[in-house]
A and B are shown apart, each in its own frame.
Chain A
Amino acid sequence: MNDTLKLILRAILLLLTQVLIGNKMRIFGFVNPQWSLLFVLWFPIKVETTLFLITSFFFGLSLDFFSNSGGIHAAAFTFVAFLRMPVFKKILNKKEVFEKNFEYNLYRTSTKLVMIFVLSFLFHFVQFGLSYFDISTIGTVLWKAAVSSIFTTFVTLVVLSIFSPNPQ
């Protein structure tokens, strides 16, 4: 299948499952696992960063349309997309291998876990930070971001190990 088409279909599927199932889970009343983060994890690495940032922005914005959340998801997705490479490079510590041929399966579960947890924490931090929009609630924001990231990481890791397309 054409790569672009695949990407679009994947985005739509992630969006719909996230909005119709993920955003209605509300574990402990506030935790919605954000497996739509897979959009960023699966996005081809060889594609230019410029395009990656713009696509992520619009992907996030389409989530905002569904959840009446202004630009919160757009901001969070752009943020995570921008930091994906730096975070991966920092954690994997082997730049050359990685840029030519990247596969999640090459790495141990613990490494994948750290990679995804860091990204999902950043994501949820921006998400809750913008939705509270109040510096005095930083404690709540950190706490909610941490708990949410645990669930997001778990779900994402499971999906990743089942489907595992690689962001070549």
Chain B
Amino acid sequence: MQFILDLIQRYKNFLLFFILELIALLFTIQLHSYHRSKFINSSNFITGSIYENFVSIEDFIGLKEENTLLNKENEQLYNQIERYKTELEKLEGLATTAVFLQNKDSVKYHYISASVINNEYHHKDNFITLSEGEKSGVKSDMAVVNSKGIVGIVTQTSSNYSVAISVLNKYFKTNARFKKSNYFGTISWDGKQVNIVQLQDIPRQANIQVGDTIVTGGKSAIFPKGVLIGSVKNIEFYNKRHHKIDIQLFNDFRKLNNVQVIENLHREEIINLENNSYE
């Protein structure tokens, strides 16, 4: 017994070292799973508010660029409103108007604006910290987009902040399709180049050309249909059956600033329905 105690006493530092490394490794392994440690992430109060205050300085430097962007976005939105107005006027002349106006419940998505307070793009798995949390209605599994396209999916929330996995993360996967044809595939990232993701599972007969626009497919309860993703940059053929398609994202992940979190108001209904039909 004494011998064992002596041994422990003698190697106590090494033992401690070993135990600490083991704990750290445990945290790290949790990191490599999709829903990560609830404990260590930057959506907590201290890290969140430090990032937020520092970001205000960075924001100030990028104000001009950001303004131009917002202006452009405004322009697009105005144009859209005009288009809808004309549509509505046309409809109002028709008898179906009454039905159309009654269906206000058909609003499917709700947008929550947020700013990026910490942005990573140089790791193999990247995360983005956002300035809004549960208080503003942000919940896990909501989509994050901006005017240029998809950004990520919320995975962790606290009352004032949230963390999203970026498109540049090996756990990010979403359904996508060609804008001009209806071929569906899956978007994921191989971890090699910033702003370039891969499109997989596209059927062989699809006619693909460099420059084709890729948008979200809307076959998941997270992203709405038709949100921009990127354009085809490179097509590589492995054999006659499979090809690797590189997509250049419209978003520059080095410069993320203002984003929108999208709540799918019908999500619960969809998931409940799906669960029921599997039973």
With both beta carbons as reference points, the residue of chain A lying nearest to B129 in the complex is identified as A68
Q: Which of B21-29, B136-144, B176-184, B232-240 contacts A (4 or more CB under 8 A)?
A: B21-29
Chain A 48-70 interface 0/1 with B at a Cβ cutoff of 8 Å (1 = within): 01100110010011001111111
B41 and A74 contact, CB distance less than 8 A = no
Q: Assuming the A-B contacts A20-B54, A26-B122, A29-B122, are A74 and B24 also in contact, with contact meaning beta carbons closer than 8 angstroms in the complex?
A: yes
With both beta carbons as reference points, the residue of chain B lying nearest to A71 in the complex is identified as B27
B54 and A78 contact, CB distance less than 8 A = no
| Residues of chain A having any CB pair with chain B under 8 Å | 16, 19-20, 26, 29-30, 32, 49-50, 53-54, 57, 60-61, 64-72, 74-75, 78-79, 82, 130-133
A78 and B32 contact, CB distance less than 8 A = no
Question: Which of these, B16, B27, B122, B129, contacts A30 with CB under 8 Å?
Answer: B122
B50 and A20 contact, CB distance less than 8 A = yes
Residues of B contacting A130 in the complex (Cβ-Cβ under 8 angstroms): 25, 28
A57 and B24 contact, CB distance less than 8 A = yes
A78 and B20 contact, CB distance less than 8 A = yes
| Majority DSSP secondary structure for residues of B touching A | helix
CB distance from B38 to the nearest CB of A (A): 12
Residues of B contacting A133 in the complex (Cβ-Cβ under 8 angstroms): 28, 32
With both beta carbons as reference points, the residue of chain A lying nearest to B53 in the complex is identified as A20
Q: Assuming the A-B contacts A53-B20, A54-B16, are A19 and B40 also in contact, with contact meaning beta carbons closer than 8 angstroms in the complex?
A: no
A72 and B16 contact, CB distance less than 8 A = no
- A16 CA / B49 CA spacing, docked (Å): 12
Q: Which residues 14-52 in B have Cβ within 8 Å of A in the complex? A: 16-17, 20-21, 23-32, 36-37, 40-42, 44, 46-47, 50-51
B17 and A53 contact, CB distance less than 8 A = yes
Q: Does B12 contact A (CB under 8 A)?
A: yes
Q: Does B202 contact A (CB under 8 A)?
A: no
Q: Can you add 14 more A-B contacts, CB < 8 Å, to A57-B20, A66-B51, A133-B32? A: A32-B122, A53-B16, A53-B20, A65-B47, A66-B50, A68-B40, A68-B41, A68-B127, A69-B28, A70-B30, A71-B25, A71-B31, A82-B17, A130-B28
Residues of B contacting A79 in the complex (Cβ-Cβ under 8 angstroms): 21
- A23 CA / B32 CA spacing, docked (Å): 21
- A137 CA / B74 CA spacing, docked (Å): 45
With both beta carbons as reference points, the residue of chain A lying nearest to B27 in the complex is identified as A71
Question: Which of these, A60, A65, A131, contacts B123 with CB under 8 Å?
Answer: A131
With both beta carbons as reference points, the residue of chain B lying nearest to A29 in the complex is identified as B122
Residues of A contacting B32 in the complex (Cβ-Cβ under 8 angstroms): 70, 133
Which residue of A67, A68, A69, A71 has the most chain B CB atoms within 10 A of its CB atom? A68
Residues of B contacting A71 in the complex (Cβ-Cβ under 8 angstroms): 23-28, 31, 40
CB distance from A141 to the nearest CB of B (A): 11
- A64 CA / B23 CA spacing, docked (Å): 13
Question: Which of these, A20, A54, A68, A74, contacts B120 with CB under 8 Å?
Answer: A68
Residues of A contacting B16 in the complex (Cβ-Cβ under 8 angstroms): 50, 53-54
B44 and A65 contact, CB distance less than 8 A = yes
With both beta carbons as reference points, the residue of chain A lying nearest to B32 in the complex is identified as A133
Q: Assuming the A-B contacts A50-B13, A78-B24, A82-B17, are A70 and B36 also in contact, with contact meaning beta carbons closer than 8 angstroms in the complex?
A: yes
Residues of A contacting B123 in the complex (Cβ-Cβ under 8 angstroms): 69, 131
Residues of A contacting B163 in the complex (Cβ-Cβ under 8 angstroms): 68
Residues of A contacting B222 in the complex (Cβ-Cβ under 8 angstroms): none
CB distance from A158 to the nearest CB of B (A): 23
Residues of B contacting A72 in the complex (Cβ-Cβ under 8 angstroms): 24, 28, 31
- A69 CA / B47 CA spacing, docked (Å): 13
B50 and A50 contact, CB distance less than 8 A = no
Q: Does B173 contact A (CB under 8 A)?
A: no
- A68 CA / B24 CA spacing, docked (Å): 13
Q: Does B256 contact A (CB under 8 A)?
A: no
CB distance from A132 to the nearest CB of B (A): 6
Q: Does B221 contact A (CB under 8 A)?
A: no
Residues of B contacting A65 in the complex (Cβ-Cβ under 8 angstroms): 40-42, 44, 46-47
With both beta carbons as reference points, the residue of chain B lying nearest to A26 in the complex is identified as B122
Q: Does B225 contact A (CB under 8 A)?
A: no
Residues of A contacting B17 in the complex (Cβ-Cβ under 8 angstroms): 53, 78, 82
Residues of B contacting A75 in the complex (Cβ-Cβ under 8 angstroms): 21, 24-25, 28
